[in-house]
Amino acid sequence: MNYLYLISAGMYAVVGLVLLLVWRRHRVQTFARDMGCSTLFAALLPFGYLVSVAAPAPWQTLGVPLVVLGAIPNLLFLSSGVTQLSGRRLPQGAAALIIALALAALLLPNNEHKLLYWPLFNMSVLLTMGALAMRWLWRTGAGVRLAGPLLIALGLNQLLLIFYGEPALALNIVIATLLRALIGAVFMLSALDGALRESGKLAARFQQLTEHSLQGVVVTDGARILYANPAARTIYGMPLGLDHHIAFSDLPPQAFSEALLQHHHGLLQSGQTDLTSWEGRRQVADGRELELRFEAWRVEWDGQLATHILITDDTERNASARELLHQATHDKLTGLPNRAVLMQRLNEYCYLTDGSPPCTLVVLNIDRFKLFNQSQGLVAGDQLLKAFAAQLREVLGARAELMRLGGDEFAIVDPEGGAPRELAARLQAACARPVRLAGGEYVIDASMGLAIFPDHAVDAEALLRAANAAMYQAKRIPGTSLSMAERRFAQMSSTALENEQALRKGIRNQEIYLDYQPKIDAVSGRLLGFEALARWHRPGIGPVSPVEFIAIAERTGQISELGSLLLERACRQIADWRRAIGGCVPVAVNVSPMQLLNKGFPQLVQRILQQTGIPAHCLTLEITESAAVENLEDTQTQLQQLRALGIEVAMDDFGTGFSSLSMLRELPLNTLKIDRGLISPLPAPDAVAVVTAICQLAGALDLQVVAEGIETLEQAIAARDAGCHALQGYYYARPLTVADAGAWQQRELGAGTACCADDDTAALAGQD
């Protein structure tokens, strides 16, 4: 009899473990997991009963806990498994009810009634779940339908215990074990059927993805093609993988590189890499040469390790990229390389290693080409340029590179210019030949400048400048002429030109940075804001005055780029301070007249504010008085758009230009900054009178007044008493670094609000 309990427990354990193994292979089959757990816990029931009746006296007390431990989870997981099999979930309320009633049926009755109440409760649960299973699973497969009747039979099996008690326990266990095995088999078949359906779905998805993919898909074992999709067959023009596996050795070597495939297959299968890629040119069946890109990874195919290769035909894309590159680097009319290619070549040749031959550059300009266009028309002018370019190519041959710089200007580069005079003679001979067009023959004159690196220049730009200077020198000579560059052409670059080039490089390398000068409340002495001041520490030279490099930027047209760079840098610094300190005072940034002339300047400011995420009130823009006077109407429009964004605008250097009361009234300003030239005479009475008048005028127009250039306490007191709202100058602080300006703000925020004092010295004392 005891062996019967052990056999029953072992049968339950085997069925439960098999169900869990099925679930482990197919995790979506959660009902198999729940039914496996239920069967494993059911194994504790006969084992626990065996312990309670057959174990030695100290161990018999473990029997009831083992039965309780097995009975309740058994019913919970069984109920959950049935609901999962039908596509439902066991409600939490139902689970709680099962636990409560099970505990009551197991623990409350005395020993003589335990085989009455527990079988009644167990039968109720099993009959309920069986009836629900029959209803839920009625329209499923025939095998799955058996779950309901088998559960009902398992529930009715409890009648043996209800009517006959413990004498019927052996028969009850035998029947329950058989029914449990059948229920487990039903669940296993259902899980396997679900796994087959999922596998079918995955196979169908794979087929849909690969069969309709525009990229080729090939699966190989390293020696054979196990599978190839239609796109791969289209790319190669071969019936790959249709009827049987094809060996790479049987395919044309120009279409498939067997050695390369074996190499990458070996890398993947040995585990040296998880993903590999390569590319190459392959000749396919119809003789076309394609540019193919391959990506491969390790897969399992029909039970063996294989390599999945994704093939992309980049032929058209690469051809389009080459065409776009050609269009970007070549002249559309003549097909010659353009100025960008010229500079690239010159930079290459001018930075070759020592011992390389000198590089010769010739700049050629057609004389009086505008006259030809006016007399013969633009179409004839284009034909002349094309014919003349062809004539030059014919004369030069493979010796030198011919490029069109634009308009009627060409450049000739000879990287091995050992005989520049021979090159010049060839060019002069080409110009002497008549150019034949549909309308007749034309003899044209050209002016040429020849420069040699490193004799006439130290870099590519200097070489081009020297050749240009020589070309303009040649234009002074009638007819076709050539002028050789001289040392003095290289020396013609004055300090201003060197500064221009250095500034270009400085902007490119972001050598320009910002310092921040505080603005102080004239009454309380607290920090009101900063003015961002551009600074340039030129490598090898040292600090360069802003007056000097700002003037260079305006003269060379770089001021817009520089202004945008500094505006964005200031806004990003404001954002950094706000994140680090928790707040930030407004920062004023100077705007040049050329920036204001740009119609898109307000949109640029708005974009920078959005990118940096700072509110508009954190930024103040300062314009010069001269810019407002010269372009009053445009300035008014631009400032109105800026004010609409919520940005305050200040007029800088007020009092040095020719501003009128009408202009001040018409412009949407917030602040006037009195020029330091009017502040420096303070506290002289006449200077005080002028500043007072400006402050009264600003008050009438509801404008704030900032006095800049405060260098002494007396000036600060006089400016305050005259009506200035804010003070700025060396008396308070020289322009501060980012770290010092941040520390100043940190102190202000730490203090909460600035202290106010009646004493002038205390209120106006410097903060640094």
Q: Which two tokens stand for residue 500?
A: 């221009």
For residue 608, how many other CB atoms are within 10 A of its CB? 18
Distance of alpha carbon 689 from alpha carbon 719, whole angstroms:
10
Place of tokens 């044209």: 444
pLDDT at 570: 94
Lowest mean pLDDT among 56-60, 577-581, 659-663: 659-663
Average pLDDT over residues 293-322: 86
pLDDT at 758: 36
pLDDT at 129: 84
User: In this structure, which topology does domain 332-493 adopt according to CATH?
Assistant: Alpha-Beta Plaits (3.30.70)
365 near 399, Cβ under 8 Å? Answer: no
Of the candidates 250, 727, 293, 286, the residue with the CA atom closest to the CA atom of residue 520: 727
pLDDT at 498: 78
| Domain 507-746 -> CATH class | alpha beta
pLDDT at 202: 63
pLDDT in tens, 4-18: 777 877 887 888 888
Distances (CA, A) of 85 to 82, 148, 180, 350, 562: 5, 11, 16, 79, 71
With residues binned 3-state (H G I as helix, E B as strand, rest as coil), the percentages for the chain, rounded to 5, are 55, 20, 25
pLDDT at 487: 61
Architecture in CATH for domain 2-196: Up-down Bundle (1.20)
**In which band, very low, low, confident or very high, does the pLDDT at 199 lie, cut at 50, 70 and 90?**
low
Q: For a pLDDT cut of 70, what percent of the chain falls above it?
A: 88
Q: Residue 673 forms beta bridges with which residues?
A: 706
Is the pTM higher than 0.75? The answer reads no
| Domain 213-318 -> CATH class | alpha beta
329 near 340, Cβ under 8 Å? Answer: yes
**In which band, very low, low, confident or very high, does the pLDDT at 47 lie, cut at 50, 70 and 90?**
confident
pLDDT at 706: 95
286 near 197, Cβ under 8 Å? Answer: no
Average pLDDT over residues 624-647: 81
**In which band, very low, low, confident or very high, does the pLDDT at 679 lie, cut at 50, 70 and 90?**
very high
pLDDT in tens, 586-635: 999 999 877 887 888 999 999 999 999 999 999 999 987 666 666 777 88
Per-residue pLDDT for 322 more than 50?
Answer: yes
Average pLDDT over residues 539-554: 85
**In which band, very low, low, confident or very high, does the pLDDT at 207 lie, cut at 50, 70 and 90?**
low
> What is the residue-averaged pLDDT of the chain?
82
Of the candidates 431, 445, 332, 435, the residue with the CA atom closest to the CA atom of residue 380: 435
pLDDT at 493: 46
pLDDT at 767: 40
**In which band, very low, low, confident or very high, does the pLDDT at 40 lie, cut at 50, 70 and 90?**
confident
679 near 710, Cβ under 8 Å? Answer: yes
Distance of alpha carbon 278 from alpha carbon 216, whole angstroms:
15
pLDDT in tens, 111-135: 655 667 778 887 888 888 888 888 8
Per-residue pLDDT for 360 more than 70?
Answer: yes
Average pLDDT over residues 362-375: 89
**In which band, very low, low, confident or very high, does the pLDDT at 727 lie, cut at 50, 70 and 90?**
very high
Distance of alpha carbon 400 from alpha carbon 380, whole angstroms:
27
pLDDT in tens, 463-498: 888 898 889 888 888 888 888 887 655 555 446 577
Higher pLDDT, 409 or 657: 409
- Strands 401-406 and 409-414, bridge-based pairing: antiparallel
Lowest mean pLDDT among 71-85, 112-126, 495-509, 570-584: 112-126
Per-residue pLDDT for 273 more than 70?
Answer: yes
Average pLDDT over residues 357-365: 87
Higher pLDDT, 257 or 374: 374
pLDDT in tens, 134-154: 888 777 766 677 777 888 888
480-496 in b/e form (b: 16+ CB < 10 A) is bbbbbbbeebbeebeee
Average pLDDT over residues 81-109: 79
pLDDT at 141: 63
pLDDT at 22: 79
pLDDT at 670: 92
Domain ranges of the chain: 2-196, 213-318, 332-493, 507-746
Per-residue pLDDT for 755 more than 90?
Answer: no
**In which band, very low, low, confident or very high, does the pLDDT at 736 lie, cut at 50, 70 and 90?**
very high
Average pLDDT over residues 385-393: 90
Place of tokens 């708005």: 606
pLDDT at 689: 95
